[in-house]
Amino acid sequence: MNPPAPRTQWLAITSLAVLIFALLLVRSHKRHSTPSPIQSPPVFVAVEGAVKQPGIYLLPGPEVSFARAIQSAGGLQGCISNALCEEDAMKNIGNGRMLQIECSGHGAPEFRVKWMPAAARLTLGEILNVNAASEKDLMIVPQMKSGVAEAIVKRSRSQSWRTLEELEEISGVGPKTIERWRNYLMAAEPERDN
């Protein structure tokens, strides 16, 4: 039978075990606390026209190429050439946009990008720009009155709204109304359809 280890030996073994455990704990924490790469939010894109499965698609963002949108919709249909030229394939579509595709039967498909209808964008959680919205678009916003929608559009044609608070210039629109509309409206320079 071996004699018991001296107290200093036990203290050294225990200290070494605590040190190893602490190093493993720190190493594990660093590995798990490394920030993951920031991912862009998904993009809603509508694809219409000469595709096999027209519809609205949720795709990884921040932008979606024409080629990826068309592939999501099952590919081109009814075109003489089902191949996209490289220039068209690489063009991008942003969130809340619609890609319309026409095949005239005489050559390559023709593309047009425009905003999805306001009702679809609001349903998908998008916010409408008061400087680009029509009266019809604005009438979808809860508690919007036709006279207010008309005044918003009339003013935006001559001078852009810089902030939502500027809407208080319209009779019947106050701070509480503006707060309710923040989930539906924003004021920004309008993006034009191409």
Closest of 155, 144, 136, 135 to residue 184, by C-alpha:
144
What would the mean pLDDT of 166-185 be, rounded to a whole number?
93
Instruction: Inform me whether the pLDDT recorded for 183 exceeds 70.
Output: yes
Instruction: Inform me whether the pLDDT recorded for 178 exceeds 60.
Output: yes
Instruction: Inform me whether the pLDDT recorded for 51 exceeds 80.
Output: yes
* pLDDT attached to residue 182: 93
Instruction: Inform me whether the pLDDT recorded for 36 exceeds 60.
Output: no
- Rounded CA gap, 47 and 12, in Å? 70
- Rounded CA gap, 126 and 128, in Å? 7
Complete domains list, the chain, with CATH: 43-115 (no CATH), 124-186 (1.10.150.320)
Q: Dihedral sign, CA of 151, 144, 188, 128?
A: negative
Instruction: Inform me whether the pLDDT recorded for 22 exceeds 80.
Output: no
Full-model pTM = 0.65
First vs last C-alpha separation in the chain: 91
Contact 187, 131 (CB under 8 A): yes
* pLDDT attached to residue 55: 93
Tokens, residue 7:
């107290």
Q: In Å, how far from its chain's centre is CA 115?
A: 13
What would the mean pLDDT of 46-55 be, rounded to a whole number?
94
- Rounded CA gap, 145 and 12, in Å? 80
Instruction: Inform me whether the pLDDT recorded for 6 exceeds 90.
Output: no
pLDDT tens track for 69-83: 999 999 888 877 667
pLDDT tens track for 118-150: 888 888 888 899 999 999 999 999 999 999 999
Tokens, residue 144:
């919007």
Q: Give 161 or 5, the one with higher predicted confidence.
A: 161
* pLDDT attached to residue 9: 66
- Rounded CA gap, 16 and 25, in Å? 14
